[in-house]
Structure 1
Amino acid sequence: MAWQPGQIIDADGLNNPTPTTLTTGVTAATGWQVALQTLDIVSGVRIANVTLNRTGADITNPGGTSGNITPDIELCTLADDWRPPDDLYVACSTGIGSGSMRVQHDGSCQWLTWIPGANVTSGSNMRWTWTFTRRGA
């Protein structure tokens, strides 16, 4: 793999150019079940994909009239390999509704916003992805 502009060259990238994929490390909160979890690690860059299936009761209009979810709702926790060095704010979606998620450096994934008036029904799949590098890797 050739160096690309903006790519960080570090020991992890030089010593491990072969892609690695982890398929464990996400623990769903009550009312959710992990449907997909992949963490691809290539030359020090980590690309995480999570899909949680809503197994609990329908969540009626979690964003209210403003879109803000108060308090934030923890949907899952992440093992160390999945954790970014700083909190990240990313989009999430069921394919019908959309909102935002905070992926925290302590491993908590919290649901922050949701389109006003939209429900999340039992059986819905909540999806989000994020990309990061580890400091000092």
Structure 2
Amino acid sequence: MTEQPPQLTGVVAYINLEGAAEASALYQRALGARELVRMPYKDEDGRLIHCHLEINGGNLMISDFFPEHGFDPEKPQGYTLHLQVPDVDAAWARAVEAGFEVVMPIQLMFWGDRYGQLKDKFGVRWSLATTPKA
């Protein structure tokens, strides 16, 4: 499971969740994520202090909350994680089957993409889109 992670550049989302190990498993099922690094914390709760995922060629870092270290639980708000995929219908069906909730159904948008939004059980909002071939 742990492999040499890629050299990171640009902006990489790092989100805290209650249940990072469960989120990693969900993102693997729903989004085809690969877990590159998993660092468990030294407690009986099974919390992860760090988890590095690769999703659709991009990187996502997740960890549990650690109130004892100043990282109190907060509800996700004000952001959407976006995946530009070759086949939005297939990616969408996989995510919905894994339990993601539809927020905005897939539709043809004014900028040309077929686009929709989902929310996972952790409250994280995801958008998926495909640019149709001309």
Q: TM-score range by the shorter chain?
A: under 0.3
Q: Which has the higher contact order (CA 8 A, sep 6+)?
A: 1
Q: Give 1 or 2: higher strand fraction.
A: 1
TM-score normalised to the size of structure 1?
A: 0.25
Q: Judging by fraction of residues, say which structure has more helix.
A: 2
